[in-house]
Amino acid sequence: MRRVILHVDMNSCYASIELLHRPQLRGRPMAVGGDPESRHGIVLAKDQLAKKAGVKTGMALWEARRLCPEIVFVPPNLELYMRFSKMAHAIYGEYTEQQEAFGIDESWLDVTASSGCCGSSNDIAQDISRRIKKELGVTVSIGVSWNKIFAKFGSDYRKPDAITQITPSNYRTIIWPQPVGNLLYVGRATERKLYEHGILTIGQLAQTDPAFLRGLLGKMGVILHMFANGEDQTPVSRESFQAPIKSVGNGITAPRDLVSDQDVKIIVEMLSESVSKRMRASQLKCTVVEFFALSSDMEYSYGRQHKIKRPTNISSEIAREALDLYYAGWYGQRPIRHIGVRASGLVDALCPEQMDLCVNEVRRRKLDQMDVTMESIRSRFGYGSVRKGMMLTDTDLSGRAEVKDHEVHPHGYFEAGNRTGVEKYAV
C-alpha cells in the first residue's frame, strides 16, 4: 500500500500569530525580528505586505527598513509560538500519532492508516486546513504525497492557504521543471556546484547518473538523486516527548571586552537566566548545554557542548555547565567580545526522568523555585526589581535590560529518520 504523507506549514507563522494579538498592525507591513537598535538584529518572519516589498527572512533589520521604510518590527515571543505549535499538534493528533515536527510551524503527518475513518487524503488535508483556520486563527499550506520530500515541496509550491497534491502521475510535470535549488537540502553551495555542471532543474538532477553525483557531492549527491525521483523512504517519526525545536540560545555582544572570570560569570549568568525562562515558558528542558565565545579582535572563536545527566531548565545549572566549558577551553587566553549560551537536546518538561541517588533533589527543587519566584517578581515589577548578588559587582555589564535576542533551531531532516535505499547506489 502506498503511503500517504502530509506536510503542513503554517503560513508566515510568527507574523500571523503576532497579528492575531496585535490587530492594530493589520494593513501595515510587519516583521518579527530583534531589537532594531541591535547590531545583529535580523528578520525572523514577515507578513505578506512586507514580503511584497522585498523583505526576506534572515535579512538585517536595517536592510529591511531600507526596502520598506514603513515596516513595523515586533520582538519575537517564542513561548507564544510554542503554544500555538502545541495546539496545532493536538489537532494533528486526532488524525494520526505519526507526526514529526520540522520546526515550530511545520510538521509531517503519516495518515496512511487514517483513510478508513477520516476519508481520503484530500478530505483529511481540507479538514485540517479548516480546523487550523477556525480554531487557531491562522492559515496553513499543505502538501500531499507518498513521501516526505514531495509533501514538503507541495506545501511550499502554493501559498498561502493552499493544498497541493503531488502524485506519481504529476510529479514530473510539477516538480521536475522547478529550479534545483527548490529541492530540500539543495543549499546555495550545492546549487552552485550543480549549476557549474549544467544541472539547473530538479528534473535534470533526477536524470543525472547517481555515480556522477556521488563523485561531485559525496553521499549527499545520491540522496538528492533519490529525493528528485520520489524514492525517499524516510519514515515519519511517531509523536514523542521530543520538542519541535532543536535548541534555544541567547548571545550578547558585551558593552566592553570581558577580561576576567568575573566578567564572564556575569554575562553567562544573564544568558542562562534568559535561556531558562524561555524553556520554562515553553515547558521544555534541555539535555545538552553549549557555550560559545568570540575574541575581541574577532579572529578567534571557541564553541563546546556537554551532555548533562538530568534534563534541566534551572538557570544556575545551565550557567555552571557553560562556565565549565569556558574553563575547559578558553580560560585565560584573550579578551572576549561576544558570548553565547545555548540549550539543546530539548525534551518536554514532563518527560520521565531517571532518578540519581547522588543528586540533592531538595536543593534542585529550591533552585527551580528560586527561578520561578524571580521570574514572577520581574514580570510584575520589571527586570531590575530582583537580581543575584554577583550582578551588583559590575553594573556596567549587568545594567542592561533582560537579554532579548534569541536563536531557535529546528531539527534536521535525518535526525530521526533513516536513509533506506541509498545503499543500492553504492559505488
pLDDT at residue 401, as a whole number: 46
Residues that are catalytic:
106
Amino acid at 372: V
Report whether pLDDT(239) > 90. Answer: no
Instruction: List every span in the chain annotated with CATH 3.30.1490.100.
Output: 245-410
- Binning pLDDT at 50, 70 and 90, where does residue 170 land? very high
pLDDT at residue 37, as a whole number: 55
| Percentage of the residues of the chain whose pLDDT score is greater than 90 | 53
pLDDT at residue 414, as a whole number: 67
Instruction: List every span in the chain annotated with CATH 3.40.1170.60.
Output: 14-78
**Separation between Cα atoms, residue 55 and residue 405, nearest integer Å:** 20
387-409 pLDDT per residue, tens: 888 887 787 777 654 555 455 55
Its CATH architecture, for the domain 245-410, is: 2-Layer Sandwich (3.30)
69-103 pLDDT per residue, tens: 999 999 888 888 888 998 999 999 999 989 988 88
pLDDT at residue 402, as a whole number: 52
Q: How many CA atoms lie within 13 A of 314 on its CB side?
A: 17
**Separation between Cα atoms, residue 241 and residue 68, nearest integer Å:** 41
Instruction: Give, in order, the Cα–Cα distances in Å from 343 to each of 311, 312, 326, 390, 408.
Output: 10, 9, 15, 23, 10
Fold of 176-230: DNA polymerase; domain 1 (1.10.150)
- For residue 225, which of 202, 245, 193, 191 has the smallest C-alpha distance? 202
Report whether pLDDT(212) > 50. Answer: yes
pLDDT at residue 411, as a whole number: 62
Report whether pLDDT(415) > 70. Answer: no
Q: What is the mean pLDDT of the chain?
A: 86
- Considering Cα of 259, then 260, then 262, then 267, what sign does the dihedral take? positive
Instruction: Give, in order, the Cα–Cα distances in Å from 27 to each of 16, 22, 64, 81, 98.
Output: 12, 11, 17, 22, 38
Report whether pLDDT(326) > 90. Answer: yes
Instruction: List every span in the chain annotated with CATH 1.10.150.20.
Output: 176-230
The verdict on pTM exceeding 0.95 is: no
Element (H, E) at 337: strand 336-344
263-312 pLDDT per residue, tens: 999 999 999 999 999 888 888 899 999 999 988 887 788 899 999 988 99
Instruction: Give, in order, the Cα–Cα distances in Å from 413 to each of 16, 142, 149, 233.
Output: 25, 18, 10, 12
pLDDT at residue 117, as a whole number: 74
26-74 pLDDT per residue, tens: 999 999 986 655 445 688 889 889 999 999 888 888 889 999 999 999 9
| Mean pLDDT lowest among 7-11, 158-162, 321-325, 381-385 | 381-385
What grid cell was written down for 92? 494533528
**Separation between Cα atoms, residue 279 and residue 26, nearest integer Å:** 30
CATH assignment of 14-78, among 3.20.20.150, 3.40.190.10, 3.40.50.1010, 3.40.1170.60:
3.40.1170.60
Report whether pLDDT(238) > 60. Answer: yes
Average pLDDT over residues 2-20: 93
Q: What share of the chain is helix, strand, coil (3-state, %, to 5)?
A: 45, 20, 35
pLDDT at residue 323, as a whole number: 95
Report whether pLDDT(367) > 50. Answer: yes
What grid cell was written down for 19? 497579528
- Considering Cα of 41, then 45, then 50, then 53, what sign does the dihedral take? positive
Q: Residues 124, 114: contact at Cβ < 8 Å?
A: yes
Report whether pLDDT(427) > 80. Answer: no
| Percentage of the residues of the chain whose pLDDT score is greater than 70 | 88
pLDDT at residue 39, as a whole number: 43
Which residue shows C-alpha cell 544541472?
199
